[in-house]
């Protein structure tokens, strides 16, 4: 899929900058928030259950009297951290295997592609669920499951781009001029792949965060006391009429973070 | 090309809006229909009024005649005779004979369930009656036959290896469409022996998510929603489209304690943990119940509730004193330690009941206040009995149902005489075992029951937290809804549709 | 009566004029040729007359076509004329046919939808059109199954199906090899003979000469010279036209023979094939320093494969290539047809060249000494390959090769995409390099004129026959027509 | 023809991968499978060690892994998926019942997304950078950023609870289709629209599209005769890939709307260690993907001859 065709440069940039701003805003809330307004995401006070915002808890309290602001900040640290860790591992694995498959060709390429296609045929959630069943509800479980799902995307991107570049006259000329594979990678393959990696990484992070939240929403994700976006939403859903702000804050935070990442990824989607 | 797409959309929308059939009662609960096998899914069939047992129980737990009109034990209590009601027909039209009843009970006895724990040696069919012989006297036998696994199905209902293949019962409703795991339709059975039901059709759908059930009640998609979470009870109470019923039931939210664990072996330690729990706060804020539990048995269990017991209190200060008395000293990180051992425990619970993880989260904070560190492990419910079997369980937060058998003695025998998967663990008390067996045989009376509850209140092998209330949301047009505290029936035959 | 009259047509991009006022008229039966190099604005003129200018360009001027009076500033007005009055033969016609529709149907469609014939009549009419163009068998083929020439004829049939009188051909020979050029000229003249007018836009001098009629020469958006084609080509009055005409390989002086230096490599009984088709077999030749071997033949005859085989980039089906002893592996280099694709896209040319110099221990200033020799402005080094013209980039590619002191250069159609004048410069540079550096050059081109006047020896390959064994002609002496 | 061969290999790899993954999962799981299955069967009130032992004897859960894996692959070749450990019903029957619900939901969602997405995308693609194009970009990016469960949550709160228009959950009548299908379709439509828009913009800029108009065809005729067919190829290819996101969506949406679909069953099967069910369902989803993509490959090969070569 080629990049967004015909979107004038100015608009393309403007969208990416708004995306970056949204992501930065949520990360600032996650990191600086608790420093500005100190508080413990797990501390409960049953008397204050579902009460409105006050200086100590700018977004009010949830059904167990925990400050939603601090739980949201903790959640906005936890989910993106797992997502980024998974995307980094998946990206690295995809990059290395993709380049290796494209460069070697022959059996290595065929086996890796078959494995990637087989994994592609399975819904990501199923793989994550299976891994989660082995390492229930912990961050490493999510990290392993998500890496297993996301590496296929990076692998396919890298392999396609590397094959095209290696077949180009530019690489043939460079080899004739006596340059080794490292130089070829640095000058030809990496500049071609780098922009795609950013797009795929932003997109992968968004998918990972969505998966963690979705699993949390159906009660098979992160375990109860740890603050997690999907889990917060499903816990606060019944109190929708009593405390609408309580449910709205995780919903808006998730939407803002995911919108930011999607804009950052640009409108390219394979 | 463009017109065809528009036409397709219009057609789709048009077919999507037929009027809802109004003579069908929509029942929604969280229980999934495994299969027609009575031992696993029988409780749904009895609750929906499709199958029946020999004996029934009224809301106070007193046994009433079901498919058996009356039952007597002979002198030494070793052989019981149940005279069967005549003129009873199965849904497939065949008559209910003594042989069919005996066969059904024999099959139920071989499968996992309460009947397997009773001292029954043989079940014989006489003319118009069934005789059950025991190896030693067991007064609660009639109550055990009220359990759903003892439901009577026609011989044709059982397939290979006595596995249930079709549900042919005797109840007021006959199944028209069984689609496990999520739905079941039934219509009034005209050949029913008792009074005909008012509602002609009933439909049961299993919705596992409590939020979704609450939304269905609120948006009027279900007429009879069983089992709501605390928050929805408060919300639905405000809306006029639905009336919410809530009645105390013999189910207790309690902590199962592993008395073998070094930190929990002394009764004072267990009493300290009990004092740390703010039962009023949990009941009102989390469960939305009027008050917490003062002892193990709720008033709804009638004879077993002992008013003379000193109620369980909330006193973190005294709890700390008790623990200091046992040699625990406060560590740097706010957690007690004793000769190198930190007071750290794992609380295992299961998400099948939505309120359990919530209470676990509250307990974690309340125990931390007295210096006990709790890590919560929300997992599959079977981990509780697995942990009991291999001794790996520290604390288990469970919702123990004492109403499985209309007479709670059955559950007490299985839980505390001497220990049980869902009862006491690593705790030895011979006195309570003898007393429970005597009550079981029928010769132990009120003093025996009072002494049992007194031991449980002082020794605290399990720490009660709250008495459950069953919640039910009924749509405006449905009258005559009554919650059965023993959770044996939804009471569908008595319901009436006003519109 | 005049078919089409265009007065003071100008084209501006955001206010700055890129095509200054041009007036032209088209008479029935007399073709009009607009000659100019890339960037001279010839295509813009044609597009302004047709009303197909891209949205960001503004045109001005009047166009009279039959009884239609049109203003170039409002292109929408031209839309009804498309297909009905004006038939456009686009550049690279094999890209202008819908890849998913069979060739025949694309002509039938024009008859049915534009001419208004019934489906049966339209199909019959299309069949006769294609038959007239010798394409009866191509009716059910898809565009990717047609050769360049066949695709062009289908495009003509489709364009004329709407009944248009005036045919406008934009660079009809682009991407075709020399042998096809004369066929295109005859095709256009045959269409003209059926009535109406013909306007040809090209940079190909040989095509212009064959079309004849009147000619307008454009340079940098201005008319340089007009007049009958034959007269202008025989006696050009303007200096630029003279250079342009001189740049046509036919007018190049014959090459004087060079003394042969030490042998660089010898090829014995070479044979190669592609996709099961045998291209050439038992070819033997040797290459010595300072000499140029020319290889020519129609497209697809295996010229490039031969070069790759000699360089060791592709395995020969039979025969051997022996390199003279003592030559470094990097002494054997290749110059590419599309120089943009031969350079890393994202790096500035300066850094790429510096890398090569560094790799081969060449002193930094060697690049600075080579730049003027190849007529290159040092500022080009700061740009990326995309920001430089085709001619300049090809000379930079040559510079890159010189940095490694090559002994053998395989130039694969180096100038087929360049304008005549730039082509001449690059070919001259190649010749000087052979002499100055004393390296052997194998020049591959589909233009026999160019090869004949440049190479010492000419090797012409016959078109690839499927399966048939094909013996290469013996090496011919220079000077004879290929 | 080589599309069939490559897809055949992919199908085989999917089967082997699922077999190995589920076995690795089952062997590596903490907790005793017999207890989990007993909990699945008898519910949290009645599960105890006796029930677990009864299940262990009945199913013979212990025993070495490898022969069991080979045994399973053998059964698979004979298309015998075995019985569900929890309900005792043959897996094929269980899947057959659940698959019907999921497929009908997925089909309605896809149809809805095709009605909403591509037409808008093509209109936007005809005038790149125009008002509709920029608007579509904002809306589709916004919709893409909303995960399916959040979409379901919002739709339920607005359409069924606030305005009582549609049922919040449940299965059976056609009315129950609308909300879950809409929750799935909006996300799919956002992506379809983008794909259609990019394809249309790219094809609109191609020489053959302008030549069609220079031949005399009007803008509408060019779109109908040349535009749509060329846009359909990338759109169809992407639809095949979208099957996976669709299935993921179905898993989540079924859990929320209480649909008796395959996604719902899969989550349960994994957590009650019902090995044959997990394998059967996963295999069904995996082969479904391969089947649909094979069909799409053949279809696109018929439309675009260059692919068939």
pLDDT in tens, chain B (499 residues): 445 545 545 554 444 343 344 688 989 998 888 888 888 888 899 999 999 999 988 887 788 898 999 899 887 888 899 999 888 999 988 999 999 999 999 988 888 888 888 888 999 998 889 999 988 888 888 888 888 888 999 988 888 888 888 889 999 999 998 877 778 999 999 889 888 888 899 999 888 777 778 888 887 778 899 888 877 888 888 888 888 888 888 888 999 999 888 888 888 889 999 999 999 888 888 888 888 888 888 887 777 888 888 888 899 899 999 988 988 888 888 888 888 888 889 999 987 787 888 888 889 888 988 889 988 888 888 888 888 888 888 999 998 888 778 888 888 888 887 788 888 888 878 888 888 888 887 777 888 888 888 888 888 888 999 988 888 999 888 888 888 888 888 888 888 887 6
Q: Is the dihedral of CA B190, B193, B199, B202 positive or negative?
A: negative
User: Does residue A43 fall inside a structural domain?
Assistant: no
Q: How many Å apart are CA D11 and CA D245, to the nearest integer?
A: 19
CB contact under 8 A, B285 and A65: yes
Q: Which of A177, A188, A195 should one mutate to test binding to chain C, selecting the residue with the greatest count of C CBs within 10 A?
A: A177
| Tens of pLDDT, residues D235-283 | 998 888 888 888 888 888 888 887 878 887 888 787 777 878 888 888 8
Q: Judge whether residue A7 has pLDDT over 70.
A: no
Lookup: tokens for A93: 């694995």
What is the pLDDT confidence band of residue C334, given thresholds at 50, 70 and 90?
A: very high
Name every chain D residue with its beta carbon within 8 A of the beta carbon of B216: 167-170, 258
Distance of alpha carbon C262 from its chain centroid, rounded?
A: 35
CB contact under 8 A, D48 and B208: no
Q: In chain C, which residue's Cα lies nearest the Cα of D302?
A: C100
- How close D134 gets to chain C, by Cα (Å)? 19
CB pairs under 8 A between A and D: 148
Name every chain A residue with its beta carbon within 8 A of the beta carbon of B377: 223
Give the whole-number percent of chain A exceeding pLDDT 90.
29
Per-position b or e across D201-228, b if 16+ CB within 10 A of its CB: bbbbebbbbbbbbbbbbeeebbbebbbb
| Tens of pLDDT, residues B41-82 | 888 999 999 999 999 888 877 888 989 998 998 878 888 999
| Tens of pLDDT, residues D132-167 | 998 998 898 888 888 888 888 888 888 877 787 787
A42: left (phi over 0), alpha (psi -120 to 50) or beta: alpha
Report the CATH number that the domain containing residue C419 is assigned in CATH: 3.40.50.300
| Tens of pLDDT, residues C352-409 | 999 999 988 888 888 888 888 888 888 999 998 988 888 889 999 999 988 888 889 9
Chains that touch C (3 or more CB pairs under 8 A): A, D
- Cα–Cα distances (Å) from A99 to B202, C403, D52, in that order, read 62, 30, 50
A49 touching chain B per CB within 8 A: yes
| Closest to C398 (Cα-Cα) out of C376, C421, C365, C424 | C376
Q: Which of residues 232-251 of A touch D (CB under 8 A)?
A: 233, 237, 240, 251
Looking at the DSSP bridge assignments, the partners of residue B50 are: none
Q: Are residues D208 and D141 in the same domain?
A: yes
Q: Please tell me which of the candidates B16, B31, B212 has its beta carbon nearest to residue D256.
A: B212
D231 touching chain C per CB within 8 A: no
Q: Are residues C240 and C389 in the same domain?
A: no
- How close C91 gets to chain A, by Cα (Å)? 22
pLDDT of residue D118: 93
End position of a domain, from candidates D80, D111, D131: D80
CB contact under 8 A, A64 and B281: no
Q: How many Å apart are CA D132 and CA D120, to the nearest integer?
A: 9
Looking at the DSSP bridge assignments, the partners of residue C227 are: C215
CB contact under 8 A, D39 and B180: no
CB contact under 8 A, A170 and C329: no
CB B249 within 8 A of CB B403: yes
Lookup: tokens for C457: 């020896």
pLDDT of residue A11: 61
* All residues at 6 or more sequence positions from A146 whose CB lies less than 8 Å from its CB, including other chains: A82, A83, A86, A90, A128, A208, A211, A212
How high is the mean pLDDT of chain D?
Answer: 83
Q: Please tell me which of the candidates D206, D208, D225 has its beta carbon nearest to residue C109.
A: D225
Q: Are residues C46 and C97 in the same domain?
A: yes
Q: How many Å apart are CA A139 and CA A74, to the nearest integer?
A: 14
C88 touching chain D per CB within 8 A: yes
Chains C and B touch (3+ CB pairs under 8 A): no
Q: What is the gyration radius of the CA atoms in chain A, in angstroms?
A: 22
pLDDT of residue B19: 36
Name every chain A residue with its beta carbon within 8 A of the beta carbon of B284: 46
| Tens of pLDDT, residues C24-69 | 998 888 999 999 888 888 888 888 888 888 888 888 899 898 888 8
User: Does residue D96 fall inside a structural domain?
Assistant: yes
Q: Which residue has the tokens 């005996």?
A: B102
Give start and end residues of each alpha helix (H) in chain D: 2-28, 33-46, 49-59, 65-77, 91-126, 131-144, 148-155, 175-204, 207-214, 219-222, 228-257, 262-271, 275-303, 305-308
CB contact under 8 A, C100 and D305: yes
For residue A67, the enclosing domain spans: 8-37+57-266
pLDDT of residue C468: 35
SS (H, E, C) chain C: CCCEEEEEEEEEECCEEEEEEEEEEECCCCCEEEEECCCCCHHHHHHHHHCCCCCCEEEEEEEEECCEEEECCCHHHHHHHECCCEEEECCCHHHCCCCCCCHHHHHHHHHHHHHCCCHHHHHHHHHHHHHHCCCHHHCCCCHHHCCHHHHHHHHHHHHHCCCCCEEEEECCCCCCCHHHHHHHHHHHHHHHHCCCEEEEEECCHHHHHHHCCEEEEEECCEEEEEEEHHHHHHCCCCHHHHHHHHCCHHHCCCCCCCCCCCEEEEEEEEEEEECCEEEEEEEEEEEECCCEEEEECCCCCCHHHHHHHHHCCCCCCEEEEEECCCCCHHHEEEECCCHHHHCCCCCCHHHHHHHHHHHCCCCCHHHHHHHHHCCCCHHHHHCCHHHCCHHHHHHHHHHHHHCCCCCEEEEECCCCCCCHHHHHHHHHHHHHHHHHHHCEEEEECCCHHHHHHHCCEEEECCCCCCCCCCECCCCEECCCCC
- How close C144 gets to chain D, by Cα (Å)? 7
A136 touching chain B per CB within 8 A: yes
Q: Is the dihedral of CA B82, B83, B85, B86 positive or negative?
A: positive
CB A17 within 8 A of CB A255: no
B348 touching chain A per CB within 8 A: no
Give the whole-number percent of chain C exceeding pLDDT 90.
10
Q: In chain B, which residue's Cα lies nearest the Cα of D160?
A: B219
Q: Are residues C232 and C363 in the same domain?
A: no
pLDDT of residue D26: 67
C227 touching chain D per CB within 8 A: no
- How close C94 gets to chain D, by Cα (Å)? 9
CB contact under 8 A, D161 and B218: yes
Q: How many Å apart are CA B410 and CA B118, to the nearest integer?
A: 9
Q: Which of B45, B219, B405, B410 should one mutate to test binding to chain D, selecting the residue with the greatest count of D CBs within 10 A?
A: B219
Rounded to 10 deg, the angle between the A68-104 and A244-264 helix axes is 30
Give the whole-number percent of chain A exceeding pLDDT 70.
93
pLDDT of residue A101: 92
End position of a domain, from candidates C207, C224, C250: C250
Q: Are residues C397 and C281 in the same domain?
A: yes
Q: How many distinct structural domains can be found in chain D?
A: 2
Q: How many Å apart are CA C394 and CA C226, to the nearest integer?
A: 32
Q: How many distinct structural domains can be found in chain C?
A: 2
CB contact under 8 A, C347 and A191: yes
SS (H, E, C) B101-136: HHHHHHHHHHCCCHHHHCCEEEEEEECCEEEEEECC
Distance of alpha carbon C463 from its chain centroid, rounded?
A: 19
DSSP state of D226: I
Q: How many Å apart are CA D211 and CA C82, to the nearest integer?
A: 10
Q: Judge whether residue A5 has pLDDT over 70.
A: no
For residue D157, the enclosing domain spans: 92-271
Compute the residue count for chain D: 309
CB contact under 8 A, A177 and C332: no
pLDDT of residue A270: 35
Q: Please tell me which of the candidates B39, B183, B379 has its beta carbon nearest to residue D260.
A: B183
- Here the ipTM equals 0.79
The helix (H) or strand (E) run that includes residue A72 is helix A68-104
What is residue D5's three-state secondary structure? helix
Name every chain C residue with its beta carbon within 8 A of the beta carbon of A192: 345-346
Q: What is the gyration radius of the CA atoms in chain B, in angstroms?
A: 25
Looking at the DSSP bridge assignments, the partners of residue B29 are: B206
pLDDT of residue D224: 92
CB C249 within 8 A of CB C450: yes
C146 touching chain D per CB within 8 A: no
- How close D251 gets to chain A, by Cα (Å)? 8
CB contact under 8 A, D221 and C159: no
CB B218 within 8 A of CB D160: no
Q: Are residues C220 and C280 in the same domain?
A: no
CB pairs under 8 A between A and B: 63
Q: Are residues C357 and C242 in the same domain?
A: no
CB contact under 8 A, B18 and D175: yes
**Of D164 and A102, more confident:** A102
| Tens of pLDDT, residues C277-311 | 888 888 888 888 888 889 988 877 888 888 888 88
Neighbouring CB atoms inside 10 A of B166's CB total 15
Q: Are residues C241 and C365 in the same domain?
A: no
CB contact under 8 A, A239 and B364: no
| Tens of pLDDT, residues C66-104 | 888 888 888 888 888 888 888 888 888 888 899 889 989
Name every chain A residue with its beta carbon within 8 A of the beta carbon of D233: none
Q: In chain C, which residue's Cα lies nearest the Cα of D223?
A: C98
User: CATH topology for B249-469?
Assistant: Dipeptide-binding Protein; domain 3 (3.10.105)
Q: How many Å apart are CA D158 and CA A231, to the nearest integer?
A: 21
User: Does residue A51 fall inside a structural domain?
Assistant: no
CB D135 within 8 A of CB D143: no
Q: Are residues C415 and C325 in the same domain?
A: yes
pLDDT of residue C214: 92
CB contact under 8 A, A7 and D244: no
Q: How many distinct structural domains can be found in chain A?
A: 1
**Cβ neighbourhood burial of B216 (10 Å; 0-12, 13-18, 19+):** buried
Q: Are residues C151 and C284 in the same domain?
A: no
Q: Which of residues 190-229 of A touch B (CB under 8 A)?
A: 218-219, 223-225
Chains that touch A (3 or more CB pairs under 8 A): B, C, D
* Side-chain-facing half-sphere of B138: CA atoms under 13 Å: 23
* All residues at 6 or more sequence positions from A215 whose CB lies less than 8 Å from its CB, including other chains: A125, A128, A129, A132, A221, A222, A230
- How close B385 gets to chain A, by Cα (Å)? 19
User: Does residue D157 fall inside a structural domain?
Assistant: yes
| Tens of pLDDT, residues C447-478 | 888 888 888 888 888 776 543 333 333 333 33
What is the pLDDT confidence band of residue A83, given thresholds at 50, 70 and 90?
A: very high
CB contact under 8 A, A224 and B282: no
Q: How many Å apart are CA D102 and CA D86, to the nearest integer?
A: 21
Q: Judge whether residue C210 has pLDDT over 50.
A: yes
| Tens of pLDDT, residues D34-77 | 787 888 777 777 788 888 888 777 766 666 667 777 777 777 77
* All residues at 6 or more sequence positions from B310 whose CB lies less than 8 Å from its CB, including other chains: B457
Q: Are residues C280 and C409 in the same domain?
A: yes
For residue C390, the enclosing domain spans: 255-479
Q: How many Å apart are CA A205 and CA C267, to the nearest integer?
A: 57
Q: Are residues C307 and C215 in the same domain?
A: no
Report the CATH number that the domain containing residue D236 is assigned in CATH: 1.10.3720.10
Q: Are residues D127 and D255 in the same domain?
A: yes
Name every chain B residue with its beta carbon within 8 A of the beta carbon of D108: 12
CB contact under 8 A, D171 and B183: yes
pLDDT of residue D123: 92
CB contact under 8 A, A137 and B378: yes
B37 touching chain D per CB within 8 A: yes
User: Does residue A193 fall inside a structural domain?
Assistant: yes
Cα A175-A180-A181 angle, rounded to 5 deg: 95
DSSP state of B187: E
User: Does residue D148 fall inside a structural domain?
Assistant: yes
CB contact under 8 A, C98 and D226: yes
- How close D11 gets to chain B, by Cα (Å)? 29
pTM: 0.81
Q: Which of residues 60-119 of B touch D (CB under 8 A)?
A: 111-113, 116
Q: Judge whether residue D226 has pLDDT over 60.
A: yes
CB B173 within 8 A of CB B202: yes
pLDDT of residue D185: 93
Q: Please tell me which of the candidates D14, D270, D285 has its beta carbon nearest to residue A133.
A: D270
């Amino acid at each position: 899929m080629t990049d967004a065709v015909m979107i004038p440069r100015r608009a393309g940039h403007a969208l990416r900058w708004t995306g970056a701003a949204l992501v930065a805003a949520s990360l600032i809330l996650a990191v600086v928030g608790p420093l500005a307004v100190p508080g413990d995401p797990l501390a409960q006070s049953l008397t204050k259950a579902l009460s409105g915002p006050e200086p100590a808890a700018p977004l009010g309290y949830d059904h167990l009297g925990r400050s939603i602001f601090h739980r949201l900040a903790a959640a906005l640290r936890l989910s993106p951290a797992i997502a980024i860790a998974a995307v980094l591992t998946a990206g690295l694995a995809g990059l290395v295997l993709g380049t290796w498959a494209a460069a070697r060709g022959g059996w290595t390429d065929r086996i890796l592609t078959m494995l990637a296609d087989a994994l592609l045929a399975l819904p990501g959630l199923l793989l994550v669920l299976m891994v989660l069943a082995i390492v229930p509800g912990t961050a490493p479980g999510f990290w392993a499951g998500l890496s297993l799902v996301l590496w296929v995307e990076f692998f396919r991107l890298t392999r396609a781009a590397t094959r095209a570049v290696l077949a180009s006259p530019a690489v043939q000329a460079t080899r004739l001029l006596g340059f080794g594979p490292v130089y070829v990678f640095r000058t030809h393959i990496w500049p071609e792949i780098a922009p795609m990696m950013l797009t795929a990484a932003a997109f992968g992070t968004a998918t990972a965060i969505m998966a963690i939240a979705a699993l949390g929403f159906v009660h098979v994700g992160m375990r109860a006391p740890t603050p997690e976006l999907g889990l917060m939403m499903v816990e606060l859903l019944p109190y929708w009429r009593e405390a609408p702000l309580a449910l709205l804050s995780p919903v808006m935070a998730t939407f803002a973070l995911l919108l930011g990442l999607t804009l950052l990824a640009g409108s390219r989607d394979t | 090309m463009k017109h065809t797409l528009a036409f397709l959309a219009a057609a789709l929308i048009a077919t999507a809006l037929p009027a809802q059939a109004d003579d069908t009662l929509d029942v929604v609960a969280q229980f999934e229909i495994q299969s027609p096998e009575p031992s696993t899914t029988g409780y749904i069939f009895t609750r929906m009024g499709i199958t029946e047992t020999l004996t029934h129980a009224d809301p106070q737990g007193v046994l009433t005649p079901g498919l058996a009109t009356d039952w007597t034990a002979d002198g030494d209590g070793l052989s019981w005779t149940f005279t069967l009601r005549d003129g009873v027909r199965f849904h497939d039209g065949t008559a209910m004979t003594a042989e069919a009843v005996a066969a059904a009970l024999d099959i139920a006895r071989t499968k996992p369930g309460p009947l397997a724990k009773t001292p029954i040696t043989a079940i014989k069919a006489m003319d118009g009656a069934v005789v059950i012989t025991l190896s030693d006297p067991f007064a609660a036998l009639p109550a055990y036959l009220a359990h759903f696994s003892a439901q009577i199905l026609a011989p044709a209902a059982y397939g290979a290896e006595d596995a249930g293949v079709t549900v042919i019962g005797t109840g007021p409703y006959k199944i028209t469409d069984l689609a496990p795991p999520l739905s079941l339709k039934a219509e009034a059975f005209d050949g029913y022996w008792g009074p005909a039901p008012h509602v002609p059709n009933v439909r049961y759908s299993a919705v596992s998510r409590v939020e979704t059930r609450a939304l269905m009640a609120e948006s009027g998609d279900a007429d009879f929603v069983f089992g709501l979470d605390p928050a929805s009870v408060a919300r639905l109470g405000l809306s006029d489209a639905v009336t919410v019923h809530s009645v105390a039931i013999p189910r207790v939210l309690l902590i199962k304690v592993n008395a073998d664990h070094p930190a929990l072996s002394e009764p004072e330690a267990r009493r300290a943990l009990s004092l740390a729990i703010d039962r009023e706060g949990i009941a009102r804020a989390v469960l939305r119940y009027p008050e917490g539990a003062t002892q193990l048995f709720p008033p709804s269990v009638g004879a077993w509730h002992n008013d003379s017991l000193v109620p369980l209190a909330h006193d973190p200060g005294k709890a700390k004193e008790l623990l200091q008395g046992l040699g625990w000293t406060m560590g740097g990180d706010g957690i007690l330690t004793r000769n190198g051992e930190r007071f750290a425990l794992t609380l295992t619970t299961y998400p099948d009941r939505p309120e359990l993880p919530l209470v676990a989260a509250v307990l974690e904070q309340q125990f931390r206040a007295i210096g006990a560190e709790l890590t919560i492990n929300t997992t599959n419910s079977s981990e509780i009995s697995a942990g009991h079997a291999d001794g790996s369980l520290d604390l288990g937060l469970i919702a123990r149902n004492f109403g499985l058998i209309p007479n709670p003695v059955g559950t007490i025998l299985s839980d505390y005489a001497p220990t049980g998967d869902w009862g006491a663990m690593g705790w030895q008390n011979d006195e309570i075992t003898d007393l429970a067996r005597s009550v079981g045989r029928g010769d132990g009376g009120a003093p025996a029951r009072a002494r049992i509850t007194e031991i449980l209140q002082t020794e605290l092998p399990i720490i009660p937290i709250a008495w459950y209330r069953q919640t039910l949301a009924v749509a405006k047009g449905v009258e005559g809804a009554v919650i059965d505290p023993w959770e044996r029936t939804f009471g569908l035959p008595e319901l009436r549709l006003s519109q | 009566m005049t078919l089409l009259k265009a007065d003071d047509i100008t084209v501006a991009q955001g206010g700055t004029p890129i095509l200054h006022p041009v007036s032209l008229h088209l008479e029935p039966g007399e073709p009009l040729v607009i000659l100019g190099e890339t960037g001279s604005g010839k295509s813009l003129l044609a597009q302004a007359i047709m009303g197909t200018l891209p949205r960001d360009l503004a045109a001005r001027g009047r166009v009279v076509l039959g009884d239609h009076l049109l203003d170039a500033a409002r292109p929408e007005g031209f839309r009804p004329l498309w297909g009905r009055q004006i038939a456009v033969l686009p550049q690279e016609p094999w890209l202008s046919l819908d890849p998913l529709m069979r060739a025949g149907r694309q002509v039938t469609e024009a008859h049915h939808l534009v001419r208004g014939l019934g489906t049966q009549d339209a199909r019959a009419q299309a069949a006769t059109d294609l038959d007239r163009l010798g394409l009866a068998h191509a009716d059910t083929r898809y565009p990717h199954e047609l050769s360049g020439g066949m695709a062009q004829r289908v495009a003509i049939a489709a364009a004329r199906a709407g009944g248009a009188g005036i045919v406008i051909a934009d660079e009809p020979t682009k991407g075709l090899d020399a042998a096809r050029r004369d066929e295109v000229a005859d095709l256009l003249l045959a269409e003209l003979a059926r009535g109406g007018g013909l306007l040809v836009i090209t940079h190909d001098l040989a095509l212009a000469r064959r079309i004849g009629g009147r000619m307008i020469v454009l340079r940098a958006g201005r008319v340089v010279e007009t007049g009958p084609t034959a007269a202008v080509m025989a006696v050009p009055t303007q200096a630029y036209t003279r250079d342009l005409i001189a740049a046509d390989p036919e007018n190049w002086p014959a090459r004087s023979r060079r003394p042969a230096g030490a042998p660089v490599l010898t090829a014995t009984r070479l044979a190669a094939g592609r996709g099961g088709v045998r291209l050439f077999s038992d070819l033997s030749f040797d290459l010595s320093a300072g000499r140029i071997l020319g290889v020519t033949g129609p497209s697809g005859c295996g010229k490039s494969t031969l070069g790759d085989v000699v360089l060791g980039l592709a395995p020969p089906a039979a025969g051997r290539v022996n390199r003279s002893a003592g030559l470094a592996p990097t002494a054997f280099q290749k110059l590419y047809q599309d120089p943009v694709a031969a350079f890393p896209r994202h790096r500035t040319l300066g850094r790429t060249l510096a890398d090569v110099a560094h790799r081969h221990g060449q002193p930094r200033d060697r690049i600075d000494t080579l730049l003027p020799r190849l007529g290159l402005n040092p500022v080009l080094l700061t740009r990326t390959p995309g920001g430089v013209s085709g001619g300049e980039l090809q000379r930079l590619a040559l510079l890159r090769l010189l940095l490694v002191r090559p002994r053998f250069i395989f130039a694969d159609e180096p100038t087929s995409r360049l304008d005549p004048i730039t082509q001449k410069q690059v070919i001259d540079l190649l010749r000087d390099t052979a002499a100055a550096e004393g390296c052997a050059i194998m020049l591959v081109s589909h233009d026999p004129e160019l090869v004949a006047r440049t190479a010492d020896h000419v090797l012409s390959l016959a078109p690839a026959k499927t399966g048939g064994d094909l013996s290469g002609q013996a090496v011919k002496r220079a000077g004879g027509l290929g | 023809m080589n599309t069939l061969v490559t897809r055949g290999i992919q199908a085989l790899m999917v089967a082997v991968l699922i077999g190995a993954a589920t076995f690795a999962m089952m062997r590596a799981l903490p907790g005793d499978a017999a207890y989990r299955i007993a909990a699945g069967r008898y519910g949290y009130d009645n599960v105890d060690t006796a029930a677990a032992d009864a299940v262990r004897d009945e199913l013979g859960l212990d025993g070495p892994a490898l022969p069991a894996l080979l045994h399973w692959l053998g059964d698979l070749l004979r298309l015998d998926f075995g019985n569900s450990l929890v309900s005792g019903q043959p897996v094929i029957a269980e899947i057959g019942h659940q698959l019907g619900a999921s497929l009908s939901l997925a089909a309605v969602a896809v149809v809805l997304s095709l009605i909403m997405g591509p037409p808008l995308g093509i209109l936007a693609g005809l005038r790149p950078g125009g008002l509709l194009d920029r608007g579509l970009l904002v809306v589709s990016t916004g919709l893409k950023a909303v995960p399916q469960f959040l979409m379901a949550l919002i739709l339920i709160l607005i359409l069924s609870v606030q305005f009582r228009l549609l049922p919040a959950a449940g299965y059976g009548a056609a009315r129950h289709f609308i909300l879950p299908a809409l929750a799935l379709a909006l996300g799919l439509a956002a992506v379809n629209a983008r794909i259609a828009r990019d394809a249309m913009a790219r094809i609109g800029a191609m020489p053959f599209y302008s030549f069609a108009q220079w031949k005399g065809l009007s803008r509408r005729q060019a779109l109908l005769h040349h535009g749509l067919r060329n846009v359909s190829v990338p759109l169809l290819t992407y639809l095949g890939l979208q099957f996976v996101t669709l299935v993921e969506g179905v898993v989540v949406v079924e859990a929320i709307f209480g649909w008796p679909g395959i996604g719902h069953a899969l989550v349960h099967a994994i957590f009650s260690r019902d090995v044959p069910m997990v394998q059967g369902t996963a295999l069904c989803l995996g082969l479904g993907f391969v089947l649909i993509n094979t069909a799409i490959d053949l279809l696109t090969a018929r439309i675009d001859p260059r692919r068939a070569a």
